[in-house]
A and B are shown apart, each in its own frame.
Chain A
Amino acid sequence: MLKLLEGPQTLGRGRIFWSCFLAVLAGALIYPLFADSYDVGNFAYFLIWIFMALGLCLMWGYGGMLSFGQTFFFGIAGYGYGVLAINMGGGTATIAALVLSVVVAMIAAGILGYFMIWGGISGIFFGIVTLSATLVLAFFLGQTAGPEWHIGPARLNGFNGMKGMDPLTVGSFDIEGSALYYLMIALIVIVYIALRMLVNSSIGNVIVATRENPQRAEMLGYDVRKYQLLTFVIGSGLAGLSGALYTSWGQFITPSSIGLPAAAMPIVWVAFSGRNDLTATLVGSFLLLFGFQTITVYSQQAALVLMGVLLLATVMLAPQGFVLGIGKLVVDWWSRRRRRDEGTALADTGRLQSDET
Chain B
Amino acid sequence: MALVEVKGVSKRFGGLTAVSEVDLTVNAGEVHCLIGPNGAGKSTLFKLIVGLYPPTTGSIFFDSTDITAERPYARVQRGMSIKMQAPSVFKELPVRQNIQVALQERLSGAECAAEEERLLALLNLAEDSGKLAGALSHGQQQWLEIGMALALQPQLLLLDEPTAGMSPEETYKTGELIKSFNAQGMTVLVVEHDMAFVRQVAQRVTVLHLGKIFARGSLEAILEDEKVAEIYLGKTHAH
Question: A residues within 8 Å of B by Cβ?
Answer: 8, 202, 205-206, 208-209, 212-213, 215-224
Contact = CB atoms under 8 A, between A and B. Distances in A.
B82 A213 contact: no
Nearest to B134: A212
B84 A205 contact: no
Nearest to B97: A8
Given A8-B94, A208-B93, A212-B90, A217 B77 contact: no
Contact of A205 (B71, B76, B104): B104
B105 interface: yes
Interface in B87-129: 88-94, 97, 100-102, 104-105, 108
Given A209-B90, A213-B88, A218 B101 contact: no
Closest 4 CB pairs of A and B: A221-B76, A212-B90, A202-B104, A218-B73
A253 to B, nearest CB: 39
B100 A218 contact: no
B104 A221 contact: no
Interface of B: 50, 52, 71-74, 76-77, 81-82, 84, 88-94, 97, 100-102, 104-105, 108, 148, 152
A100 B57 CA distance: 49
A216 B73 contact: no
Nearest to B83: A219
A201 to B, nearest CB: 9
A217 B72 CA distance: 10
A220 B93 contact: no
B90 A221 contact: no
B73 A221 contact: yes
A213 B89 contact: yes
B91 A219 contact: no
A224 B71 CA distance: 11
A219 B89 CA distance: 11
B79 to A, nearest CB: 10
A223 B73 contact: yes
Contacts of B92: 212
Contacts of A217: 90, 101
A206 B101 contact: yes
Contacts of A220: 76, 101-102, 105, 148, 152
A206 B152 CA distance: 15
B50 A219 contact: yes
A206 B90 CA distance: 11
B73 A212 contact: no
B72 A218 contact: yes
23 contacts: A8-B97, A202-B108, A212-B91, A212-B92, A213-B88, A213-B89, A213-B91, A215-B84, A215-B88, A216-B84, A216-B88, A216-B89, A218-B72, A218-B76, A219-B72, A220-B101, A220-B102, A220-B105, A220-B148, A221-B77, A221-B105, A222-B105, A223-B74
Contacts of B50: 219
A222 B73 contact: yes
Name, among A218, A219, A223, the residue most crowded by chain B CB atoms within 10 Å (CB to CB). A219
